[in-house]
Amino acid sequence: MGITPSNRRRLVGTFMQSVGMAGVAVALLAQGAEAADRHSAFVIDANNGKVLYSDDADDLRYPASLTKMMTLYMLFEAMEQGRMSLSTPMNVSAYASARPPTKLRLKPGSTLTAQEAILGLVTLSANDAAVVIAEHLGGSEARFAQMMTAKARQLGMSRTTFRNANGLPNEGQHSTARDMATLGMALREHFPKQYRYFATKSFDFRGRTINSHNRLVGRVKGVDGIKTGYINASGFNLVTSLYDGDRKLVGVVFGGNTAAARDNEMAKLLAKYLPQASTRSTGPLVAERERGSRVLPDPQTASYVPPKEVPAPRFSNRAINARIAAAYDTSAGDAVARVAKPQGRQVVGRDAIREALASAPRQDLLRPASAPAPSAAAYGESRPVPPAEVPGGADFDPQTTGAVAAAATAQQTSPWVVQIAATPDRDQALQMLAEAKAKGGSVLSSATGFTQSVGGKGGTMYRARFAGFATKDAAAGACDVLKKRSYKCFAIAN
């Protein structure tokens, strides 16, 4: 069960009293009770570039799965340059396979064709398929995100930064409604042949029929794409293209409270501004790269300098306070230190909060046993904290597993452990553990995540495992729950 608002207030009050800051907690909760302002919207005439509607269109927002529009742009470009085709097979890594749903449920060691990946992204918004594309084109997801950001700058998306290929929570990944409209227009202008995929309503994938998440295709006359998106930090997002006779519009809505509310808002915006759209095209609106040229050197043969960062997302004071209060459901000390700084003035003295937390006894920072498992989405990010080293060849993530000493003890004394993956990248293994912990619910509430390094001819691999199971049945039960959430796992006697 989740934490109710009344319980959250009680837990936060208790915690803040323990560090001598009950007054600050009351102030935070009073303002944090209001929902964060995540909304923005934008409508542009795709014939002449005239802005027809703008509501906070240049404020930074989390793009969620709208990110996959750029992932597809990069794939389309590779196809245009002859570096791959629709039938090109792409290898599926353990890391890509382990991405959280929604996903195609790809198996490590299998392959995915470019066309299957395209259809998986435009319909199901498959997170695993997005990472397969990233690793194929960039070598790693992190490097591919750098390439995506560089491409965004080239297209004129000056306030967009990408950190991953699929839009899963990461507080360093942000964009704006205006930038996403630019990307939507670029996809149509630069890749008219591939653009038709965005109108796909369903496709068959290896015995499964997968339906599109985009409900406006077929509902609103002239709508032919583009992409939906959702994470907890962003709300429900949508970029929509409408081509009705000689008129063309691109609309963007960020921060809908529900998918239906977002869709209804978009439908109203399109209906209102279509009559104002021009019937004459002035030519391409988005700067196009020279045909056949490469934006970046090949990732396998040259180094790459990441682009200069843009500012972190700008949140209102109410949003800052809401995020602080919400974060106490997970790791209070870390959450306060991570909260983004608002422009102008600070809501509270953050240095004072950090000092108070640093001096508090460790037990005052621990989450009550009845609270839900930590969730990275609570403060809008998924990257793991650098791991701590412990004896015995295992590495633990203190943010998701508690104190290092306790983690080492759990690993050494646990009769049974559960393994969910093995990967050559330790940070990836830790990220998998954090995501599985958040999704595992009560069966992992007392489990401790750790990685175990194993050497071999192919190099070092890191096993992603959970300790803390007294019996085989307990470990098997945890596996059953994780398998229902698309994680591959097995129980092992320790």
pLDDT at position 86 over 90 = yes
- 223 by Cβ neighbours in 10 Å (0-12 / 13-18 / 19+) ranks as buried
Name the band, by pLDDT with cuts 50, 70 and 90, for residue 428: confident
Query: Does the annotation count 125 as an active-site position?
Result: yes
Place of tokens 């293994």: 429
Token readout for 255 is 């921060």
How do residues 371-399 score in pLDDT, each as one tens digit? 333 333 322 333 333 333 333 333 333 33
- The one catalytic residue in 93, 97, 125, 375 is 125
Name the band, by pLDDT with cuts 50, 70 and 90, for residue 66: very high
The Cα-based distances of 150 to 159, 337, 428 in angstroms read 12, 29, 24
Q: According to the model, what pLDDT value does residue 168 have?
A: 94
* Mean pLDDT, residues 113-127: 96
pLDDT at position 101 over 80 = yes
- Contact predicate 399/384, CB 8 Å: yes
The Cα-based distances of 441 to 98, 306, 434 in angstroms read 18, 37, 12
Cβ count within 10 A of residue 277: 22
Name the band, by pLDDT with cuts 50, 70 and 90, for residue 131: very high
Name the band, by pLDDT with cuts 50, 70 and 90, for residue 458: low
How far apart CA 123 and CA 126 sit, in angstroms, is: 8
pLDDT at position 364 over 80 = no
- The one catalytic residue in 40, 65, 212, 375 is 65
Cβ count within 10 A of residue 382: 20
Residues 6+ away with beta carbon under 8 Å from 357: 19, 332, 333, 336, 337, 365
* Mean pLDDT, residues 69-73: 98
Q: According to the model, what pLDDT value does residue 442 have?
A: 85
pLDDT at position 331 over 80 = no
Pairing of strands 111-113, 89-91: antiparallel
* Mean pLDDT, residues 474-491: 85
DSSP state of 315: -
- The one catalytic residue in 68, 103, 248, 437 is 68
Nearest CA among 248, 239, 275 for reference residue 46: 248
Task: Give the residue, 40 or 5, on which the prediction is more confident.
Answer: 40
Rg over CA atoms, the chain? 23
Query: Does the annotation count 65 as an active-site position?
Result: yes
pLDDT at position 447 over 70 = yes
Q: According to the model, what pLDDT value does residue 249 have?
A: 97
Query: Does the annotation count 68 as an active-site position?
Result: yes
pTM for the model = 0.58
